[in-house]
Amino acid sequence: MMIANKEYAARRKELMSLMQGNSIAIIASAPEKIRSRDTHYSYKQNVTLSYLSGFPEPESVMALIPGREQGEVVIFCRDKDPLREIWDGYREGPGGAVANFGADDAFPISDIDDILPGLLEGKDRVYYAIGKDPDFDAHLTAWINDVRSQRGSGALPPGEFVDLDHFVNEMRLIKTAPEIKVMRKAGEISARAHCRAMEISRPGLFEYQLQAEIEHEFMASGARAPAYSSIVGGGKNGCVLHYIENRDKLEDGDLVLIDAGCEFEDYAADITRTFPVNGKFSEAQAAIYDIVLQAQADAIKVIGPGIEYNKANEATIRTITQGLVDLEILEGDVDELIAEEAHREFYMHGAGHWLGMDVHDVGDYKIDNKWRVHEPGMVVTIEPGIYIAPDNTNVDEKWRGIAVRIEDDVVVTKIGNEVITSGVPKARDQIEALMAT
Ligand code: GLY
Ligand code: MN
Ligand code: MN
């Protein structure tokens, strides 16, 4: 299951249809990053280039030139080099860029200084994500100066830069059917991984051992990386929202909060589950858990076409505030507490975010300062939580150090929504039943 070449071609075509006449778009690959001396971090392609081509290699550049007679899609990439390929692996070469990635024309990257100024020359506008890669910004400036320097012989440099990502990001926000298929699969794999962690959990294991179970399932299922650093926080570590040390021992009687999702075929999943290390919720843990679960259910009810993005967030705030009042953790009138944002002491993040090729995916949340409304093909996470700091002396001791978050991935459909991460249980009795097997 992969994104097909014709889908990439359709994306490029749509982007080119949005570009004004006589313009060029330039998209560079991400640089490789050194981890230690001469070894690199595993390579992550620039997502804009992935989205528009699927081209996986570093040291590549794509130019889109609507209306160019010799072809609109030009790729520069590393040339074939049998000796280097023995050391560093297969390269597509310009031939592969044409045969396998939809380029009309392709050249060795070593020729780009000679060719790209000629492609820029005479264009009115350059669509480019300026400021994201200072090294490539400098190259582009040099090519434009190259055109300027030939002004005397009639060459005209482009007069205007336009933010390319603004256009691409809006396209990425609405997922097509093939994208949703891949995201479903990312959700399924990630859900299985969470089940595996629940099944194996017991007091005395270390947080990193649950991380290992989760990431084993990702990799064994063909998802070659987590979409973000896996969070496995036992007990009070769950109160640290981005806890990624994952090094403590899991204690009997504590909860463990796991926020982990795989990246499958370039698309992210993002799931959080919170469960008792020993398989049985205590009374206090259950009380907090059920509020968060209800808040999530109430939010998912307001995901659907035509509904404002922020309605889900508002639903979680109401349910959590009411729940905390019921447990006497907060005191006062629910509407007044909501107006004062009293929940923020215990629920300090929003209900979710867009999800796609980036875990915190691109796309504006507001248009003209108003929350945008859901459209079919948007994908959001819904992830309410309650975190009671271990040193919060304003609350009864029995609540301190309890942290619960529950997160699922939700696709907006024509008639409502589809939760694509429901393969891992979240009702308390279902979690306890799975952990008892
Ligand atoms: N995993 C990051 C988040 O839930 O937003
Ligand atoms: Mn998450
Ligand atoms: Mn999330």
What are the tens digits of pLDDT across the range 395-412? Answer: 999 999 999 999 999 999
Average pLDDT of the chain, as a whole number: 97
Q: How confident is the model at residue 152 (pLDDT cuts 50, 70, 90)?
A: confident
Number of domains forming the structure of the chain? 2
Whether 105 is catalytic: no
Regarding whether 111 and 77 lie in a shared domain, the answer is yes
Q: What is the CATH number of the domain that holds 65?
A: 3.40.350.10
Calculate Rg over the CA atoms of the chain.
Answer: 25
Which pLDDT value is given to residue 1? 55
Q: What is the edge-to-edge ordering of all strands in the sheet holding 231-234? A: 231-234, 255-260, 271-276
Instruction: Compute the Cα dihedral for 139, 140, 146, 148 and give only its sign.
Output: negative
Domain final position from 141, 172, 203: 172
Regarding whether 113 and 50 lie in a shared domain, the answer is yes
Whether 360 is catalytic: yes
Task: Please enumerate in sequence order all residues whose Cβ is within 8 A of that of 277, keeping only pairs 6 or more positions apart, or say none.
Answer: 201, 202, 203, 205, 234, 250, 251, 252, 253, 254, 255, 256
Whether 245 is catalytic: no
Q: How confident is the model at residue 437 (pLDDT cuts 50, 70, 90)?
A: confident
Question: Which residue's CA is the nearest one to ligand 1's atom 4?
Answer: 270
Regarding whether 347 and 212 lie in a shared domain, the answer is yes
Measured in Å, residue 407 CA sits from the centre of ligand 3 at 7
Q: What is the CATH number of the domain that holds 191?
A: 3.90.230.10
Regarding whether 279 and 134 lie in a shared domain, the answer is no
Regarding whether 157 and 179 lie in a shared domain, the answer is no
Measured in Å, residue 349 CA sits from the centre of ligand 3 at 10
Regarding whether 278 and 200 lie in a shared domain, the answer is yes
Q: How confident is the model at residue 7 (pLDDT cuts 50, 70, 90)?
A: very high
Instruction: Note whether 417 and 303 are within 8 A (CB).
Output: yes
Atom of ligand 1 lying closest to residue 383 CA: 4
Regarding whether 221 and 204 lie in a shared domain, the answer is yes
Regarding whether 256 and 118 lie in a shared domain, the answer is no
Q: How confident is the model at residue 151 (pLDDT cuts 50, 70, 90)?
A: confident
Atom of ligand 1 lying closest to residue 231 CA: 1
Q: How confident is the model at residue 153 (pLDDT cuts 50, 70, 90)?
A: confident
Q: What are the backbone angles phi and psi of residue 188, rounded to the nearest 5°?
A: -65, -45
Element (H, E) at 381: strand 379-382
Whether 353 is catalytic: yes
Q: What percent of the chain has pLDDT over 90?
A: 96
Whether 127 is catalytic: no
Q: How many CB atoms lie within 10 A of CB 339?
A: 9
Instruction: Note whether 103 and 109 are within 8 A (CB).
Output: no
Atom of ligand 1 lying closest to residue 270 CA: 1
Which pLDDT value is given to residue 2? 87
Residue to mutate (ligand 1; options 272, 358, 404; most atoms within 8 A of CB): 272
Q: Which residues line ligand 1 (CB under 6 A)?
A: 228, 259, 270, 353, 359, 383, 407
Please compute the mean of the pLDDT values over residues 320-337 and round it to a whole number: 98
Measured in Å, residue 270 CA sits from the centre of ligand 1 at 6
Residue to mutate (ligand 1; options 349, 404, 407; most atoms within 8 A of CB): 407
| Residue range 140-149, pLDDT digits in tens | 999 999 998 9
Question: Which residue's CA is the nearest one to ligand 1's atom 3?
Answer: 270
| Residue range 270-311, pLDDT digits in tens | 999 999 999 999 999 999 999 999 999 999 999 999 999 999
Q: Catalytic pick from 68, 192, 360, 400?
A: 360
Domain boundaries, position 231: 174-436
Domain final position from 151, 172, 193: 172
| pLDDT at residue 329 greater than cutoff 90 | yes
Residue 356: DSSP 8-state: S
Q: How confident is the model at residue 155 (pLDDT cuts 50, 70, 90)?
A: confident
Regarding whether 166 and 269 lie in a shared domain, the answer is no
Please compute the mean of the pLDDT values over residues 73-87 and round it to a whole number: 97
Whether 374 is catalytic: no
Atom of ligand 1 lying closest to residue 260 CA: 1
Domain final position from 130, 146, 172: 172
Regarding whether 181 and 138 lie in a shared domain, the answer is no
Regarding whether 192 and 161 lie in a shared domain, the answer is no
pTM tops 0.95, yes or no: yes
Please compute the mean of the pLDDT values over residues 4-8 and round it to a whole number: 96
Estimate the crossing angle of helix 283-301 against helix 311-326, to 10 degrees. Answer: 150
| Residue range 166-193, pLDDT digits in tens | 999 999 999 999 999 999 999 999 999 9
Which pLDDT value is given to residue 308? 98
